[in-house]
A and B are shown apart, each in its own frame.
Chain A
Amino acid sequence: MIRFLLRRTATMAVTLLIISALVFFIIKLPPGDFLTNQIAELRAQGESASIAKAEFLIRQYGLDKPAWQQYLVWLGVMPGPNGFSGLLQGDWGWSFEYDKPVVDVVGDALWLTLLVNFAVVIFIHLIAIPIAIYSATRQYSVGDYIATFIGYIGLATPSFLLALILLYYMNRWFGISIGGLYDPQYAGESWTWAKVQSLLSHLVVPTVVIGLGGTAAMIRRMRANLLDELGKQYYVTAKAKGLGPTKALLKYPFRMSLNPFIADIGNLLPQLVSGSVLVSLVLSLPTVGPILLSALKSQDQFLAGFILMFVAVLTVVGMLVSDLLLAWLDPRIRMGGAR
């Protein structure tokens, strides 16, 4: 077990190193960077004071150095203007666009993103699993067809459209302000109970909108998995023992059908961050997605690099978590090969 963890940690570190290099060099691929673009713009306008500041920043962050040196400084394995100060040391860099440290830009957004998407995941599972069980156990019944139909509608509805419609009615019926994750009056305020309440009421629309497609997809997959398992012999055995239908179902085929979903956790975690950019833009949610988009557009390299690295870490950690969970839940994987 310990050997396994050590081996996995080592491969994870190597994977992340490769990803960090890829991320950095892809961001640097287009010619220029945020500051040179800005300088060009300022020159056109002839504002020499700002140009001086921008040139100071270029030197400060070593943007005049070759890309590989910038990369190593960013990583924290080569001394920059402030000595060894990079990702490894916990210094996430400077956002030129916001003119703030990256940590201040993404700070609140990061955990709000996690919150929204965590709510989405819970929503998907709470809705999808019961419907999938219903529809699998009553295959080709009226209820199954209705669930399937609703599922297809869920898959086919454009989420931004649904978002706009829901926002309108939530505002009309419940007086909830349009967009954002809390009423505008709380912006910049500290976290009071009223602000939390506002947050919760604003969470409903994004959760439903982001979750709908996922719910529909999960119903389809879960139903198919469960149908496979329902045909298996061990389920007949359980029934032949005299087990009631519900208990027999939940203990045996249902548990088996969960495996693919656990294996999916690795994909789920990064999606929490990057999967809902479009909806976040439409709903003007203060989440990471829109920030990443604008950072990539304006070549704000440290900000974009940090967010992409964060997603990469989530992916790698998610894979480890799902592997460990699978081993814990499925003895065949835990003891595989040792027959």
Chain B
Amino acid sequence: MEAPILSVRQLTVDFSTDAGNFRAVDGLTFDIPKGKTVALVGESGSGKSVTAQAILQILSKKARITNGSLLFNDPSNGGSIDIAALPAESDAMHSLRGGRIAMIFQEPMTSLSPLHTIGDQISEALMIHADVDQATANQRTMDVLERVGFPDPKRALKTYPFELSGGLRQRAMIAMALITRPALLIADEPTTALDVTTQAQILDLIKELQVETGMSVLLITHDLGVVANVADEVVVMYRGRIMEAGSREDIFRNAQHPYLQALMRAVPRFAMAEDERLTPIREVKSASLASIDAPQRVQPAGPILKVEHLTKSFSLRSGWFSGKAREIRAVSEVDLSLPAGKTLGLVGESGCGKTTVSKMIMRAITPNSGKVLFDDGSGPKDVHKLEGEALTTYRRSVQFIFQDPFSSLNPRMTVYELLTEPLRIHDIGTSDERYERVKHLLEMVGLDQGALRRYPHSFSGGQRQRLGIARALALEPRVLLCDEPVSALDVSVQAQVLNLLKDLQSALGLSYLFVSHNLAVVDYIADTIAVMCRGYIVEEAPKSSLFRNPVHPYTQALLAAVPDPDIDRPLDFTKLRTGGFSQPSAWPEPFRIEPGEFGVMKEIEPGHKVRMGRLPAREAA
């Protein structure tokens, strides 16, 4: 059998911190065969990224390889070299790094320097490793940019990263990594920050390039769906150790280790049964939730929250030196309705306007036209016309759960202060009553009272998100707006938070507007799903009929692009290669919408509405 490109043997990486030594990678052993893709899977903090940094010797100053070897067998010259024995700043290491082993990173925006052009940064990688002049390097850069799918490589040379979309930026990163024709590509969460359709295209591109160049890929990810679609072999890590390793078939069909089995059960899948529950790796029990009585309130006759013809434009100044302003329509004629006690899922890719909609519902942004109607049982009222006492009551009834549990909690306030702040603002209760209320809130979200005096930094991501939920519940709201509440969390924790939200809903009779880019998550939690694209709601249906019978081309593309952690349901890459799903003017008839038009929603079966272009409108006329 051919020697593997990289043999990792007993790799151990230690961090020395103020709090003492910490072993991030502990005796890791695996091989990366030539021309294959090995996926390194694990939660955050499992040591997978540290392993990648160790292979390139770009560990942070606090970390050190304390044991083991990293044997790199370069297929181009047959030489074999132990990376772990090389000094980090030696010439041999410099020529390996970027030359024979290249790396792409998670966040394509921050991984590229904003001050230098794409062309400069890509050609630099070549000029470090090959003896070529700038003109040749530019030519090669254009070739590789064309290969990774830049429409106009010559212009791209002079483009800055912030002028590109996330997908193109990641393509530029790939171009930068591949211009030196490395033998091994390390991809550290290469698609985590991207939209699903873009993710599918990038995965497809990496696969294609791998076939072309015969390179090996070490793919680091936490997404089992991605693993199921692209990996040949899988290594599952937990706390610096390998839990299970094997071929993709073995791992997905016959998971042995309890950790891996638990991980598989924690991921929401499309094929889940109607009332199937996710099983988080670490279940959190809420002591008081089962015994709680939903507050007795007058139920509205219609939906509790209704959005009618909401439209919002932003004006952008198109540059520092020109005074011209451009109008961007972020939200176009959006209609939504949220029945009491139900969950409405709002799905779309980044920039589609879903967050703008939720902010308008919160009355943080004023719409250009349209209405937000809230009905607390006394009839629907326009939220943007509320004043005084009625507005305060509305603010109390609608609360927000934020995406990032790290930045949404003030690090200088204790948990007690954080949770009582809404009560203090609305001047509710005496300090004893507030204390009781906060204790009760913590119980509801499954945290113990010891948390009250601690600061947010001493909690994990999942715990912080539960604190965020507790804070949102402090005022006994009727509606929660959840803006990507689980997308910053690990899969295991994600399941925990989703289950908590479900339990809270049935115990307290809450209504959720659940905004997310993750279809599987929305499928798990929502009753009705609205798909949003470029400011339009393109399709809206009860979840069963949306997934059974997606009609709109954008919905179909979105569904097709979600990688399912099930190797019997692979992604259809060829279908996704065409692109242009999110261009309303590129949709096929009868869905095509020209710029400046709104189209009309048409009901195709009970509750299932699809946006059509002008064609049906003409028929109607």
Interface residues of A (CB under 8 A from B): 1, 3-4, 7, 232-234, 236-245, 251-252, 255-256, 327, 329-339
Contacts and interface: CB of A to CB of B under 8 A. Distances in A.
A1 B321 contact: yes
B99 A242 contact: yes
26 contacts: A3-B321, A3-B323, A4-B322, A232-B110, A233-B111, A234-B110, A234-B111, A234-B113, A239-B97, A240-B103, A241-B97, A242-B94, A242-B97, A242-B99, A252-B113, A252-B115, A327-B321, A331-B115, A334-B319, A335-B160, A335-B163, A337-B316, A337-B317, A337-B318, A337-B319, A338-B163
Name which of A236, A242, A252, A335 has the most chain B CB atoms within 10 A of its CB: A242
Nearest to A5: B321
B51 to A, nearest CB: 14
Contacts of A334: 319-321
Nearest to A240: B103
Given A233-B111, A329-B115, A337-B317, A240 B58 contact: yes
Given A236-B111, A252-B116, A332-B115, 14 more contacts: A4-B320, A237-B113, A240-B56, A240-B58, A241-B102, A241-B125, A242-B125, A243-B94, A243-B128, A252-B115, A327-B321, A329-B115, A332-B114, A336-B320
A239 B176 CA distance: 13
Contacts of B113: 234, 237-238, 252, 256
B112 A237 contact: yes
B124 interface: yes
B114 A243 contact: no
A7 B323 contact: yes
B319 A335 contact: yes
Nearest to B96: A242
A332 B162 contact: yes
Nearest to B93: A242
Contacts of B116: 251-252
A273 B115 CA distance: 33
A4 B321 contact: yes
A337 B320 contact: yes
Contact of B114 (A242, A251, A331): A331
B115 A242 contact: no
Name which of A236, A237, A332, A334 has the most chain B CB atoms within 10 A of its CB: A237
Interface string B88-115: 0100001111110011010100111111
B94 A332 contact: no
Contact of B58 (A4, A236, A244, A255): A236
Nearest to A245: B89
B96 A233 contact: no
Interface in B354-385: none
Contact of A241 (B107, B114, B176): B176
A241 B124 contact: yes
Name which of A236, A255, A330 has the most chain B CB atoms within 10 A of its CB: A236
A11 B131 CA distance: 52
Contacts of B317: 336-337
B320 A333 contact: yes
Interface in B265-298: none
B129 interface: yes
A234 B58 CA distance: 13
B128 A327 contact: no
A218 B321 CA distance: 31
Contacts of B112: 234, 237
Contacts of A7: 323
Contact of A233 (B97, B102, B107): B107
A242 B129 contact: yes
A142 B572 CA distance: 58
A255 B121 CA distance: 14
B111 A237 contact: yes
B283 to A, nearest CB: 35
Contact of B98 (A233, A242, A337): A242
Nearest to A140: B61
Given A3-B323, A7-B323, A255 B115 contact: yes
Nearest to A259: B115
Question: Top 6 A-B pairs ranked by shortest CB distance?
Answer: A242-B98, A241-B98, A4-B321, A233-B110, A242-B97, A234-B113
Nearest to B101: A240
Contacts of B107: 233
Interface in B451-506: none
A94 to B, nearest CB: 43
A339 B322 contact: no
A300 to B, nearest CB: 43
Contact of A256 (B99, B115, B162, B322): B115
A244 B116 CA distance: 18
Contacts of B89: 244-245
Nearest to B162: A332
Interface string B38-70: 000000000000000000101000000000000
A133 B111 CA distance: 22
Nearest to B125: A241
A335 B116 CA distance: 13
Contacts of A4: 320-322
A176 B415 CA distance: 66
A253 to B, nearest CB: 9
Nearest to B98: A242
Contacts of B114: 234, 256, 330-332
A339 B162 contact: yes
Contacts of B105: 233, 236-237
B49 to A, nearest CB: 11
Contacts of A244: 89, 94
Nearest to B99: A242
Contacts of A243: 94, 98, 124, 128
Contacts of A233: 105, 107, 110-111
A336 B319 contact: yes
A332 B320 CA distance: 9
A225 to B, nearest CB: 14
A52 B495 CA distance: 96
A260 B105 CA distance: 28
Nearest to A333: B320
A242 B129 CA distance: 8
Nearest to A7: B323
A237 B121 CA distance: 10
A333 B320 CA distance: 7
A334 B162 CA distance: 12
A339 B176 CA distance: 22
Nearest to B128: A242
Contacts of A330: 114-115
Interface string B304-326: 00000000000011111111000
